[in-house]
Amino acid sequence: MELKDIIKEENKVYSKPELLDDVHMHYCPGCSHGVVHKLIAEVVAEMGLTEKTVGISPVGCAVFAYNYIDVDWVEAAHGRAPAVATAISRLWPEDVVFTYQGDGDMAAIGTAETIHAANRGENIVMIFINNAIYGMTGGQMAPTTLIGQKTATTPYGRRVDLNGHPLEITDILATLPGTCYVTRQAVHTPAGARKTKAAIKKAFENALTKKGTSVVEVVSTCNSGWKLSPVKANEWMEENMFKHYPLGDLKVD
């Protein structure tokens, strides 16, 4: 069978989601952000929520998320995405509001907003991209950086006596009564991406049915910050990140 017989519109089984704009994404080659953007665009379209979804973009690499996914967006001040999401979800209760945050936004400067929004049980979805480094500013240590991990500000590796322990913000959120669904996923394999999509879908359903705050952590790579190739970064993540941040559901109500 010739290729031209296979490549026909009626045989298409996978293509770029329509909600993902046809613009060049500024992310580095192999960045997990792109996969998560794609999954959000697919979930929003499949659930028919295109006109009812509001995203809150963070400060960090994903700051331009509003250029890539064709839903309504608000760009919040650094770390304040859950506070802005709280306001929008209370004023427009029929809409689905999600925040898209990195580890610096959610677990460092925005820890207070994150914890209190989850503790109030706001009907929002928090999508948390944890790559254990500050990617946008040049690879400095993040709160989630692993012990011994080398970054621009910990050139000999993170030390507990000097830098403290990695912050497991998702585990903390799972202990709060306001959260209804807390899960940790990764998008480095096709199976992982499918599971993450199912998790995002479940989180959006929870927001629609007003069950409380849903948190989807995506353990991600930052191959530029880690100074590895995209494929090697995935291997490093499997070997090191998953030990400290094991995948799976932390809380399902």
Partner 1 sequence: MAKLKGAITVNVERCKGCNLCVAACPTDTLSLQPNEVNDRGYHYAYMSNPDACTGCCSCAWVCPDACIEVYRVKID
Any contact of residue 239 with partner 1 (CB under 8 A)? no
Segment interacting with partner 1, rule: CB under 8 A, options 171-179, 184-192, 200-208, 239-247 = 184-192
CB-CB contact of 180 with 173 (8 Å)? no
Residue 37: CB minimum distance to partner 1, A: 8
Residue 22: CB minimum distance to partner 1, A: 8
Any contact of residue 7 with partner 1 (CB under 8 A)? yes
Helix (H, G, I), strand (E, B) or coil at 6: helix
Between 39 and 142, name the residue whose CB sits nearer to partner 1.
39
Of positions 190, 239, 243, 248, contacts partner 1 by CB under 8 A: 190
Closest CA to 96 of 253, 215, 251, 210: 210
Segment interacting with partner 1, rule: CB under 8 A, options 79-87, 94-102, 155-163, 228-236 = 228-236
Q: Where are the alpha helices (DSSP H) in 23-153?
A: 32-46, 81-91, 103-104, 111-120
CB-CB contact of 141 with 151 (8 Å)? yes
Question: What is the C-alpha separation between 97 and 176, in angstroms, rounded?
Answer: 20
Between 68 and 84, name the residue whose CB sits nearer to partner 1.
68
Any contact of residue 16 with partner 1 (CB under 8 A)? yes
Residues 11, 17, 21, 24, Cα dihedral to 10° = -70
Segment interacting with partner 1, rule: CB under 8 A, options 19-27, 175-183, 205-213, 239-247 = 19-27
Per DSSP bridges, beta strands 72-75 and 96-102 are unpaired
The residues that touch partner 1, with contacts defined as CB under 8 A, are 1, 3, 5-8, 11-17, 20, 24-25, 27-35, 38, 187-190, 193-194, 229-231, 234
